[in-house]
Amino acid sequence: MYIGHMVYVCRQIKRVLRRDGTFWLNVSDSYNGSGGAGGDYGPGGLREGQPKYPGRKERNLQDGDLIMMPARLALALQADGWIVRNDNPWSKHPMPEPRKGWRHERPACPCVSELREKHIQSQMAEQGVDRHRIYDKAGTKFEPDPDCPNCHGSGRSGGHAFKDESWRHTRSHEFVFQLVKQRGYYSNSEIIKTPTGANPLSVIVAKRHNYSGKHFAVFPPGLVMPLVRASVPIRACSTCGKPWAPVIDRVQDEDGWVDFVSRYEATCSCKIVNNRAPRGESPDPEPGWVLDPFMGSGTTGLVAREFGVNFVGVDISFEYLDEQAKVRTRTGQPSKALDGLPMFDVGETS
Ligand SMILES: C[S@@+](CC[C@H](N)C(=O)[O-])C[C@H]1O[C@@H](n2cnc3c(N)ncnc32)[C@H](O)[C@@H]1O
Ligand SMILES: [Zn+2]
Ligand SMILES: [Zn+2]
């Protein structure tokens, strides 16, 4: 179902993507039978207030089996005509996943959960909501009852019990696929070279980013920026849209010959045909376009604005769009890219 929907969404992307364009797609994985990305969604839990996704349960997989969703999706997209050029692992700051292995352990004493339950009941009465709606501002931690005769305040009852829990590494990566339509897709390697002139490596490590808005899964701009820079032209033909390309020239310095970008030039043969400019010249270039079909808080829009290219964003949630996406995406002048679009004229949602 997920793959079917994604293939369909990507087909719509393919419909509007230029033949020389790139589609960057971020996909993460999960475990069979687990609750979405994993995490504590309960009151006071780590992910309280975030949308809870139903756990996946694939019939042909066993419990605890990694679904391999990114790989399955990539295979389906290849079958649907996309070329997969990169499957970059994005090394990200993980959600804590305290996984333990085999051990003999003293079981947790019920006094801790009793205290927690008491707290929940009082909060329910105080806030007048049912249990999964409780907002625990204090993020209350529950210490064992110091007077508990069962555990004497240690939180662990007597006697050891054997537990064969199945440890695994804490997941700290997702995938970013580069999907293209043809081999000669536009790419600007000059602009994303490392300081030593090397090609960037496929494992993406982006600086953490603090975002104060409501959205729960915001990309760090450092993840998006190199991708946008490499695959969206600042200059493209204003007639046919074809990106301009850097002109590589050579100079000699004390270390020998070095390449450098002297300017950008058109790659199409469109010519100015009016008499305001000399005949035979390429028309003035325009910036290229970025489309983000899942724009969320608008990180991609922010990056597009900073880089100086045009942006169109879509999201299913008005809540996220209203809050910050528009602000983050908007340019100094009335934005050609966003404000004119019907989705922002709708105003209040019903
Ligand atoms: C992981 S977030 C994207 C975050 C974004 N890159 C950012 O930095 O803020 C995914 C977004 O996709 C949106 N979404 C989910 N399903 C969608 C759909 N069918 N059409 C459009 N947007 C959708 C969600 O509302 C959510 O904001
Ligand atoms: Zn106890
Ligand atoms: Zn042209």
By most ligand atoms within 8 Å of CB, the mutation choice from 292, 316, 326 for ligand 1 is 316
- State the closest ligand 1 atom to the C-alpha of 294, by its place in the atom list counted from 1: 12
Assess whether 84 and 114 both reside in one domain. Answer: no
Please report, for residues 43, 48, 53, 124, 185, the alpha-carbon distance to residue 119 in angstroms, rounded to integers and kept in the order given: 10, 16, 26, 9, 58
Stretches where the chain sits below pLDDT 50 are 36-49, 332-350
Ligand nearest to the CA of 106: 2
Amino acid 251: pLDDT? 93
Q: State the distance from the centre of ligand 3 to the C-alpha of 230, rounded, in angstroms.
A: 20
**Which residue is it, tokens 């310095």?**
253
At residue 339, the pLDDT reads: 40
Look at residue 175 in the predicted model and tell me its pLDDT: 98
Same domain, 122 and 212: no
Instruction: Please tell me the predicted confidence (pLDDT) of residue 287.
Output: 96
- Tell me: the pLDDT tens digits for 95-136? 778 889 999 999 999 998 898 888 889 888 888 888 777 776
pLDDT tens per residue across span 279-309: 667 888 999 999 999 998 889 999 999 999 9
Contact 169, 227 (CB under 8 A): no
The total number of structural domains in the chain stands at: 3
Domain ends where: 259, 285, 311? 285
Residue 140 confidence (pLDDT): 73
Beta carbons of 120 and 43 less than 8 angstroms apart: yes
Q: What is the per-residue pLDDT across 312-326, written as a single tens digit (0 to 9) for each?
A: 988 888 777 766 677
Q: Which domain range does residue 143 map to?
A: 102-164
Task: Tell me, yes or no, whether 324 and 178 share the same domain.
Answer: yes
Report the nearest atom of ligand 1 relative to the CA of 215.
9
Q: Which of 164, 183, 217 is the last residue of a domain?
A: 164
Residue 101 CA, distance from chain mean position: 31
